[in-house]
Chain A
Amino acid sequence: MMLNGAEDEEKWLAEGIAGIQHNAFYMHRALDSNNLREALKYSAQMLSELRTSKLSPHKYYDLYMRAFDELRKLEIFFKDEGKHGVSVVDLYELVQHAGNILPRLYLLCTVGSVYIKSKEAPAKEVLKDLVEMCRGVQHPLRGLFLRSYLAQVSRDKLPDIGSEYEGDADTVMDAVEFVLQNFTEMNKLWVRMQHQGPGRLREKREKERNELRDLVGKNLHVLSQIEGVDLEMYKETVLPRVLEQVVNCKDDLSQYYLMDCIIQVFPDEYHLQTLETLLGACPQLQPTVDIKTVLSRLMDRLSNYAASSADVLPEFLQVEAFAKLSNAIGKVIEAQVDMPAVGAITLYVSLLTFTLRVHPDRLDYVDLVLGACVKKLSSIPKLDDSRATKQVVALLSAPLEKYNDIVTALTLSNYPRVMDHLDNGTNKVMAMVIIQSIMKNNTCISTVDKVEVLFELIKGLIKDTDGADVDELDEEDFKDEQNAVARLIHMLYNNEPEEMLKIICTVRKHTMAGGPKRLPFTVPSLVFSALRLIRQLQGQEGDIVGEEVPATPKKIFQLLNQIIEDLSNVPSPELALRLSLQCAEAANDCDLEHVAYEFFTQAFVLYEEEIADSKAQVTAIHLIIGTLQRMNVFGVENRDTLTHKATGYSARLLKKPDQCRAVYACSHLFWVDDQDGIKDGERVLLCLKRALRIANAAQQMANVARGSSGPVTLFVEILNKYLYFFEKGNQQITGAAIQGLIELINTEKQNDSATPDSASDAFLASTMRYIQFQRQKGGIMGEKFESIKL
């Protein structure tokens, strides 16, 4: 059925076009032979094609445009009195004899155009006459196009100030009256289309109406272009009259389009100055009109206007724009109880954007907007519309983007309340946005109060919130979130030690609530924050005067102890061990022997009781040895105890090569290269010999297990250690001993003829090169190395 209809329309359009072309042909002939009578006859016939009711607006427009083009030629002919010999006044009379009203009026408008140009009558009178006469066509589609034609031909002939058609007093008023009348009649016709035809075709009609809307809107555009229409006239006449028509027509399609048109077409300064009137119309519109979009667009325009130049801002203040807009929004939301959440929030987003642009320094306004939003959100049970959620995120992100300094956003009391209304997932997303904003702007949060507010905002990340479905937690996302929190901790800083310590305690309080899942992420950051503080205090010489002195290294070490203890619940022994060793070193630097010893004890206990993986043990023991090697705060007894333990564990690692390496690493525990450092040559040698024994055992085991002894790498490593201490002046290590070791290596190499190992060969070669190099150095070193006979 539809297809047939479309085909028919094509046919009718084709017929119409043919008709126009046919009559135009004869019209042209008449024009060429200056035959007015014939010209009128054929033009009238041509225009009769526009009398059709069969075409949709889109197709009618096609027909109309062809007629329009032809009428231009006719107009040129009309203007040239010499050609047809009839005065324009008489012509105006003559065309009214055309049989049918539609062609008659098109011709009349065409002559009217010439009439005005001739200036034989004031423009205002001709225009008045024409706009009245057009009432004769009440068919919506035909009438709209006819009046559109009138608008087009009169466009450049309005009696505007400065135009050649300017009349006497009130000339602009005349122009305005004309356009307003045409506009009003066109709107009425347009609205009437809504009620034409059966109900089931309503959608089709609305679509067709939409195609025609610009014909109506054009009038508003023309009004805005009239030079003589200043703010005063706009305020007193134009806007009230237009709004009157908008409100009275009671048609939602028209109201929505025209309100939007007004906003887009007239200058922003006018809107500012007529804000009350404009907003006052809103509640009077049909309830089905999407007023929130209209208001949003108004606010967006005003926001852009405010952003365009700083000079306009005082105007906003003067007209109390913020108050008026927020009132209007409040009224609309109140009135439209069924407005979905997304609508209300979108309005608030627009208002917030406006506020941030126009009154960025008025944080109280910003907070007000957030507060109004909270009120609305509180009235709905749960926010489950994703679009609404998106808008809330936009609402919360706007202040962050505006005030690059998140600290400002933290002062908005309603900010956390808005966040509370988000579902868990979105709340976390928002928390991440906040953290990213801080990171991006390198913001430093420097007081406990602000830290508290911040952690309140990001609490969705810090701990499991009620109702959160833990199973749904995505591993990757969780990691990203926790790492973000960990990084955030470094942005919390105050170089006042007391305040910094308070901050650390506050952070600990919050992160503890995160439970074992989160602690491995947050504890390290906290620990290093505290270590940095300790180092800062170290640098501060002198006694701190006063009774209350919480921020001392000792106190902080106690805190650190507790923090690392928290990890035992996870459990996270490897991390705890590393952090304990870090604290031990820091305690060493603060000259706190007992504290350092405690941390070492902790590390050893973790090693003994909780680190079972052999690879992990290797790393852990090396960390212990490396740290212990640097300790200078221990007395002999304590040092001996710890060293004994370290070497003991080294020798008890699972794999022989690991044992060997750890043991020779221990040799450095007995030799510290600085002034007061221990230099126990004997015990160094003992370690190295022990390492040698283990290397031997390793070779033998390899022989038994695999049939050939392994590479001599371990021996070469030990050789290098011999050389190290030899160089440093350990008397217990002689050139002969080194010689012996070299010989041993060479022997071992020969035994292992099976697979030559290029790596160990290269190692040995470079070691030998080193010895040569040292010999050739001359001086004391050269002499020393000479004692190694090769």
Chain B
Amino acid sequence: MEARPVQRSGSRDLSSNNLARTSSIPSSSTPKPSAAEDVFMRSENNNTQLMSRPLGQTYHLLSSSNGGAVGHICSSSSSSGFSTNLHYSSVVSHEKQQHYTGNSSNAAAAALQTSSNDSSWCHHDSLPGEFLDFPETHAAIQNSSHVEDGGIGAAFDDIQKRSDWHDWADHLITDEDPLLSTNWNDLLLETSSNSDSKDQKSLQIPQPQIVQQQPSPSVELRPVSTTSSNSNNGTGKARMRWTPELHEAFVEAVNSLGGGERATPKGVLKIMKVEGLTIYHVKSHLQKYRTARYRPEPSETGSPEKKLTPLEHITSLDLKGGIGITEALRLQMEVQKQLHEQLEIQRNLQLRIEEQGKYLQMMFEKQNSGLTKGTASTSDSAAKSEQEDKKTAVSKELVAEETRVSEELESPRAKRPKTDN
């Protein structure tokens, strides 16, 4: 299940913190953000999802041992973890804590306001980035005021928050493990849960073995999104990842309450008894359900654009009509099948390329560490070119494999009777 919070906070609080933080930042040179970066950020005007969430109200879920979730849990009520955050100055942490204590009730109120159907994250005035090490940050803090204006500040918020949450969440997770594990067993897809639990560990390990040629402090490349819901400490609005099974349980609950129109989110929630499922999840899901049932549309995204038949469409339709609707549908289905098949093959290849690459890199890192430290640089480059050769070899293997695989796929297709779909 995916759990992603959608929170809103009063912008006033944020901007006051904004100013406070600005003053606390040690002064140094403040180069302007490059024009390209500026443009990039401004082009985000239409995309509300770029902008970051206000501090203290972002909920992420981190599952280390439980399989599935990637992300962080944050609660505005518990901020003790922050002081241990080594990335940031004590001034900064202090201000954050101030922010938290004041805002926990606001968070609750704000969360309720947000429409449950809101598919984009709620964004408000972003806090300026708090990477005191980066010269660009200072410029960003000065420049960014409003989320919609873009500015590098928003990007920094995102980065900084995620790193914050991760460190902080580590403390929280250990306390809440039993609770989390139950949630995920209920909510996770079977397919993903196994792979997740294995891979979660690797995500948390900082990457010391990767040779970083930049002097920058290790910015944790943390996944942004979450994959599980949780019973939030406060009123988390976490994003949920539904499954057919869960949906079936939902439908049963709804039916037992008299149908889509009669059922209430509260009632459904009560009947379903799924840990980690919040009333917000149910509410938004119920809304979608009602729309799907009582206004059945041929296509999911039934947009007017598609429904109206512009002249060009009619012309091409005639051609399609000429070959018969049945034929047209069959052709469409065939093309779709092809695409899906190819996508699956491509995806598998991509996965394996990465796997092999990772494995080889690990091997070579080990090899390098075994060599004398003095000649580290030369052996690195030699090792690296060897590594690249190996990777090319691997890739060639994969090419051969893919040919075999597609041939296998092709033969069953040929054998399959050409059905009139």
Asked whether A and B interact, the reply is no
